[in-house]
Structure 1
Amino acid sequence: MTTLFISDLHLSAERTDITDCFLTFMKEETTGIDALYVLGDLFEMWIGDDDDSPFHQQIKSAFRQLTDSGVPCYFIHGNRDFLVGQRFSRETGVQLLPEHSVIDLYGTPTLILHGDTLCTLDEEYQRYRKKVHNRFIQWLFFRLPLSYRQKIGNKMRSNSSMTNQEKAQDVMDVTLDEVEKIMAQYQVTAMIHGHTHRPAIHHLNVGSLPASRTVLGDWYDHGSVLVCTPGGCQLETRDFTQSP
C-alpha cells in the first residue's frame, strides 16, 4: 500500500532531463499504487487546455496510461498552472481538487495544498494571485489567441523570476501563524504542500496537539517524491539520467 505525492516539477519542453525523469517515474513507480497526488506547478507554464503541443500531449498521455490502469490521480493547481481545466481532466482522467483538500491518508486526516496561500508575508504575490484568479480576468484571457497567451505567459514568467530574486527568502516562505491557523480551521494535525522548494518534515503544535507539515521538493536538480505507506511517509529523490 503506497501513495505518492509530487509537486513543483515545472515541466517544459526545454528541460528534457526533468521530463525524462518524470516519464520514468510514471512508468516504473506508479504501477499498482493506491494514488498519485500532484500538488501544483506540474508545468512551468499553462496557458490553457487548448495548447495541444506535442510536449503537452506526451505528458497527458503518461497520465492517461496511469488512470486507465486503475490508479487514481489527483491534481491541485499551483501558481504556474492554475489554468489547468476540465478538458485536461477529461483527456487525462486526472481529478481536479479544490485548492485546500483534506484526504484520509491511511487513517490520518491530512490537508493537502500547493502552499502559496500560506505565504502571507509576500503581499505583492498575494495581490497578484487574487488578480489572476479572478474569473472575469480569466474569461478575458481565454478569449485571446493562443499565440498572444503564450507571449503573455512568457512575460509573466520572466517578471516573476526577476521579482523573486529581489525578495528576501523568509518573505517567500510560509507564515507559521497561517499554517497553524489553517490546520486548526480544517481540524487536522498533518499537512502536505509544495511551492517553497524547501523539502522537509516539520513538527509543530496545533493547539495542544502535536502535528506535522511536510514540504515537497522541486525537480530542478533531481526528482523529488514523498512516499507514504501505512507505516509513515518519507521524502525521496530521483536522479536525472542526463544533463539539461
Structure 2
Amino acid sequence: MQLPIGKKVYFSSDNHLGAPTPELSKPRELKFIAWLEEVKQDAAAIFLLGDLFDFWFEYKHVVPKGFVRVLGKLAEIRDSGIPIYFFVGNHDLWMDDYFEKELNIPVYHKPQEFTFNKKKFLIGHGDGLGPGDKGYKRMKKVFTNPFSKWLYRWLHPDIGVALAQHLSVKNKLISGDDDAKFLGEENEWLAQYAKRKLETTHYDFFIFGHRHLPMNIKVGENSTYFNLGDWINYYTYGVFDGENFEVKKFKN
C-alpha cells in the first residue's frame, strides 16, 4: 500500500477490556473509543494487535456480552472505508469469524507481512514467539486444538465465560503474561525472534504487543522492533507516517 499524502497507519494492542471487572474497565474502554475517534481523521489503516478483550470465546450462536461501544465504533470506522486488521492475542485466541462477518474486519492468528511506502513490516501479537516460554507454548497448543474448542463449547456460556475470566486473571501460565519488566535488549525474546527472522528475510519494522511495555530496540542495521505497550498502564499506540514509526502516548 502506498499511503496517500497526509495519511497514517495506526497500531494498538493489549486493551484487556473487561478486566478486572466490566465496571473498572469502562473508563479504559471510553478512552480507547476516544482514540479511535481521533485517529480515524487521518488513518489509512488501523491494526489491532490482540488482547482487545481480556477474554473472548465464540460459541456457535453466542459471543460474550458487553463492549458494545467499542464494537459500534469499529463498525462505524470500517463502514467509512478505513481498513481494520485484527490479530488475536493470548486472551482472545478463541476468536473465530464474528469480526469478519459482522464488522468486515479480517482476523489473523499468526504474524503477517505488510508493506507501506516500500517499508516492510512483520506484525503480530507476539505470544509464543522466540525462545523460552515453553510452558505457555504447550498450553497454547492445547487451547487452540480444535477438539479442545469443541469440548469447551459444550459448557453453558454462563459457566464457560465465568471460568475463563477467572483463569485469565489468576493463572499466569494460561494467560502467557509475564510480569511487565524490561529484561534488557539481549533478553527480550521478541527482539531475539526478530533477529532470527532477519537471517532469512529483511523487515524494516517488527511490530508486536503482548509484553505490555513500550519498547524500541534496534535488531539490525536498518531494522527495529517496536512493542506497543498497553492500555492499562501506558495508553500507548504506534503510528507510521509513511517514513517513520513511533510509539506515542494517548493523552486525552
Residue among 205, 208, 214 paired with 1:193: 208
**Which residue in the other structure is 2:4 paired with?**
none
**Which residue in the other structure is 2:68 paired with?**
57
State the distance in 1 between where 2:14 and 2:63 align: 20
Residue among 27, 33, 52 paired with 2:43: 33
What TM-score does the superposition give when structure 2 sets the normalisation length?
0.84
Q: Judging by fraction of residues, say which structure has more helix.
A: 1
Shift of 1:116: 1.0
**Which residue in the other structure is 1:4 paired with?**
10
**Which residue in the other structure is 2:84 paired with?**
73
Deviations 1:178-200 (A, max 9, x none): 33223445542421101011212
The count of aligned residue pairs is 236
% identical equivalent positions: 22
Q: Which runs of 5+ in 1 are unaligned?
A: none
Q: CA 1:5–1:169 in 2, change beyond 3 Å: closer, same or farther?
A: closer
Secondary structure class of the residue paired with 1:116: coil
Q: Which runs of 5+ in 2 are unaligned?
A: 1-6
Deviations 1:156-178 (A, max 9, x none): 21332488678997499525443
Shift of 1:26: 1.4
Shift of 1:203: 0.5
Q: CA 1:60–1:185 in 2, change beyond 3 Å: closer, same or farther?
A: farther
Q: CA 1:215–1:239 in 2, change beyond 3 Å: closer, same or farther?
A: same
**Which residue in the other structure is 2:244 paired with?**
232
Deviations 1:118-154 (A, max 9, x none): 2531111111111111121112212321112112202
**Which residue in the other structure is 1:218 paired with?**
230
Structure 1 residues 1-244: aligned runs within 5 Å: 1-12=7-18, 13-14=22-23, 15-48=25-58, 50-51=62-63, 53=65, 55-161=66-172, 170=183, 173-174=188-189, 176-205=191-220, 209-239=221-251
The alignment yields a C-alpha RMSD, in angstroms, of 2.5
Shift of 1:48: 2.0
Q: CA 1:134–1:223 in 2, change beyond 3 Å: closer, same or farther?
A: same
Shift of 1:5: 0.3
What TM-score does the superposition give when structure 1 sets the normalisation length?
0.86
The answer as to whether partners of 1:63 and 1:93 remain within 8 angstroms in 2 is: no
Equivalent AA in structure 2 for residue 3 of structure 1: V
Q: Which moved more, 1:135-144 or 1:77-86?
A: 135-144
Shift of 1:82: 0.8
The answer as to whether partners of 2:58 and 2:98 remain within 8 angstroms in 1 is: no
